[in-house]
Amino acid sequence: MHFAHHATSTTADILENMPIARSIYRVRIAAPAIAQRIVPGQFVMLRLSGCDDPLLGRAFALYDTVEDSEGHAVAIDIVYQVMGKMTSRLALYQPGQQVDLWGPLGNGFKVPDTDQLLMVAGGIGQTPFLALGKEYLGLCTYGQPSTYGQPTRGVSPKRNVTLCYGVRSADYLAGEKEFRAAGIDLRVASDDGSVGHHGYVTDLLASALEESDSERPQVVCCGPEAMMEAVAKICEQASVPCQVSLETPMACGIGICFSCVAKVREADGSWDYRRTCVEGPLFDAASIEW
């Protein structure tokens, strides 16, 4: 199934654009048609309206949706790190300025059927996990029925959810309050020891798995490729299912350009290139040729 078939394209107003950590911003965009259908793990492509530089859109995961007083999803939040041309310019945008968006794109997370969900993030890889954690805990529903006929996702009963979040240093920690307010057990690791565990986020995952008394924990993971590969190995050794969200650079986001391919193993052990924009970005970690 190619999820780009459900996408819509819109020019939308920025409602808010604020720094939430070092070089990291949260932008709120009025895009009801996307907000009502997008589910955790899906993404949008974004361009700066009326600006041809950069010409191509950039991919950003759903951070969360925003509801009006009647409970209708009317806007989306994206959390982005200033990296290059697009994000440096976006950081200067003010409420009332516009962006071009297309989405929702990608497959999104499978609704985790487990009593213990372990989310593992490195750097800006934490962005898909607020919405997933809230959905899993039954605090929010995403992907409401719409005129486009996309189904509503089920809400899991209340369970345990932990976010193991690795950052370079304390000042890059983004969204801490929101994760904690949602009831997510947040465990932080930092490269320089300025916050949380001094070391790798994979150490936190290994401890969480060791402590777990669940018979069927599940892991979801997003971050730098080396970290995702390490997480995939830990999960394989522990026989724990793991979904990874690949952040391969993307040019079109809708399956046309093949700039986003990853090597994915087939059932017979061979591998083939898969477009992460339409067949991902979520894949079973065990199927990835790292």
Residues that bind ligand FES (CB under 6 A): 250-253, 255-260, 275, 277
The Cα–Cα gap between 93 and 99 comes to 9
DSSP letters for the chain: --GGGG-EEEEEEEEEEEEEETTEEEEEEE-HHHHTT--TT-EEEEEETT--SS-S-EEEE--EEEE-TTS-EEEEEEEEE--SHHHHHHTT--TT-EEEEEEEES--PPPP-SSEEEEEEEGGGGTTHHHHHHHHTTS---S---TT-PPPPP-PPS-EEEEEEEESSGGG--SHHHHHHTT-EEEEEESSSSSSEES-HHHHHHHHHHH---SS-EEEEES-HHHHHHHHHHHHHHT--EEEE-----SSSSSSS-TTEEEEE-TTS-EEEEEHHHH-SEEEGGGB--
When the beta carbons of 64 and 279 are compared against ligand FES, the nearer one is: 279
> Shortest Cβ contact with ligand FAD: which residue?
84
Q: Which one, 83 or 226, has the nearer CB to ligand FAD?
A: 83
The entry of ligand FES, ligand FAD, none that residue 146 binds, CB within 5 to 8 Å by partner kind? none
Euclidean distance between CA atoms 275 and 249, whole angstroms? 11
Choose the one of ligand FAD, ligand FES, none that binds residue 253, judging by a C-beta under 5 to 8 angstroms depending on kind: ligand FES
The least CB distance from residue 233 to ligand FES, in Å, is 27
Indicate the residue among 58 and 134 with the shorter CB distance to ligand FES: 58
275 interface partner picked from ligand FAD, ligand FES, none, CB below 5 to 8 A per type = ligand FES
Task: Give contact residues for ligand FAD (rule: CB under 6 A).
Answer: 43, 54, 58-61, 78-81, 83-87, 124, 127, 247-250, 281
Q: Least distance to ligand FES from the beta carbon of 271, Å?
A: 18
For ligand FAD, the closer CB: 43 or 102? 43
CB of 57 to ligand FES, least distance (A): 9
Beta carbon of residue 220, minimum distance to ligand FAD (angstroms, whole number):
14
Bond prior to 32 in cis (omega within 30° of 0) = no
Partner from ligand FES, ligand FAD, none binding residue 258, C-beta < 5-8 Å depending on class: ligand FES
Residue 83, binding choice from ligand FAD, ligand FES, none, Cβ under 5 to 8 Å by partner class: ligand FAD
Q: Which does 187 bind (CB under 5 to 8 A by kind): ligand FAD, ligand FES, none?
A: none
Tokens 């954690």 belong to residue: 133
CB of 281 to ligand FES, least distance (A): 10
CB of 188 to ligand FES, least distance (A): 32
Measured between alpha carbons, how far is 110 from 112 in angstroms, rounded to an integer?
6
Nearer to ligand FES, 189 or 260 (CB): 260
CB of 255 to ligand FES, least distance (A): 5
